[in-house]
Amino acid sequence: MDLGERLLELTEKIKIGDFALMEEQKETENFDVVFVEGTPITPQNVARVKDLRERSKILVTIGACACLGGIAELKNYQDKEQRLRYVYKNFEGIANPDIKPVKFYVKVDLEIPGCPINKEEFFWAAKDLVAGVIPKIPQRPVCYECQLKRNECLLQKGEPCLGPSMLGGCGAPCPSSAYPCDGCRGPLKGMNLNNFNNKLKELYGFNQEEIDLIMQRFGELDDMYPPPPAKPENKIIKK
């Protein structure tokens, strides 16, 4: 929506099959491209994403919840039954699964990560998709854009910034606002988070609890393993 007129221009080249924020018509039977946001929690969510996968040629996940699990995944690192009972007196019928990104349920053709997503990145990705191309997001760390902006390095200043290990493309708004990168776009492909974790401890003197709190925030850790879902005890960074 924040693309404003540019979004409207884009909609002229496509037919909208379903977009509940803007229309209430019956959705089309099959889709060329489906954008999925959010993390599946209820059984209906899971069924819906599987159904959409079957009916679409290309499935794209957008945002940290869909790509990584997002903040809802924090409970994976906690006692999730206690969390449920804490929030609800009557918890019968309230779904409380381990939170997994969409790619654990279905094949995903493209991930547009971030919390929030970078609207410019979404725009060019959408344009490529309209042209029939699945774009690739360049594997550069957040530091790349951060340095181009000539920001003072937060890590060097002693703040726990995940920039060196995380996928850039966001334009580094966080370190530009003196806020250390907390990895909402997930780690770079092939990044060994365990090594990075140790560096944070040894070189920069952070303690494990501190690092855990940040790494858990967007559900960083399951990205290290290919689907099917990794068991929690396989997670390398333990509390």
Partner 1 sequence: MKIKIDHIAKIEGHAGFVADIADGNVVKARLDVFEGARLLEGILQGRSYNEVSQITSRICGVCPVVHNLTSLKALEAALGVIPSEQTILLRKLMMMGQILNSHALHLFFFSLSDFFGIKNDLELIKKYPGRAADSLLLRGFGNKIIEVIGGRSIHPLTPVVGGFKKAPDQEKLEEVLKDSGAALKAAVSLAKFFCSLKYPSFDRACNFVALGLPGEYAIYDGSVKIGKETESVSGFMPKIQEFQVKENPSAKRSEFQGKTYMVGSLARLNLNSKYLNAKAKAIFRDTNLILPLCNPFYNILAQAIELVQCVEESQQILEKTKDIDFESIQPPPIELKKGKGFGAIEAPRGTLFYYYEVGANGLIKNANIITPTAQNLARLEDDMVFYLPQLTRGGKALCKEECEDLIKMLVRAYDPCLTCATH
Q: Which residues between 8 and 47 bind partner 1 (CB under 8 A)?
A: 8, 11, 16, 20-25, 39-42, 44-45
Q: Which residues between 61 and 100 bind partner 1 (CB under 8 A)?
A: 70-72, 74-75, 78, 80, 82-84, 86-96
Which of 116, 158, 229, 232: binder of partner 1 (CB under 8 A)? 116
DSSP strand E in 70-218: where? 110-112
Dist CA 162 CA 237 (whole Å):
15
Task: List the one residue out of 58, 60, 142 whose CA is nearest residue 102.
Answer: 60
Residue 236 is encoded by which pair of tokens?
A: 């390398």
140 binds partner 1 (CB under 8 A): no
156 binds partner 1 (CB under 8 A): no
115 binds partner 1 (CB under 8 A): yes
> Rg for the chain (alpha carbons), in Å?
19
Residues in the chain, how many?
A: 239
Q: For residue 193, count other CB atoms closer than 10 A to its CB.
A: 21
Q: Which of 101-109, 138-146, 195-203, 211-219 is the region at the interface with partner 1 (rule: CB under 8 A)?
A: 211-219
Question: Minimal distance in Å, beta carbon 90 to partner 1?
Answer: 5
Which of 10, 173, 204, 227: binder of partner 1 (CB under 8 A)? 173
C-beta contacts of 170-173 below 8 A and 24+ residues apart = 170/114, 170/118, 170/121, 170/142, 170/145, 171/118, 171/120, 171/145, 172/142, 172/143, 172/145, 172/146
Measured from the CB atom, the residue of 13 and 195 that comes closer to partner 1 is 13
153 binds partner 1 (CB under 8 A): no
Question: Minimal distance in Å, beta carbon 101 to partner 1?
Answer: 14
Helices (H), 59-178: 64-68, 80-87, 119-130, 142-148, 173-176
Which residues contact partner 1 (rule: CB under 8 A)? 1-2, 4-5, 8, 11, 16, 20-25, 39-42, 44-45, 70-72, 74-75, 78, 80, 82-84, 86-96, 115-116, 173-174, 176-179, 182, 213-214, 217
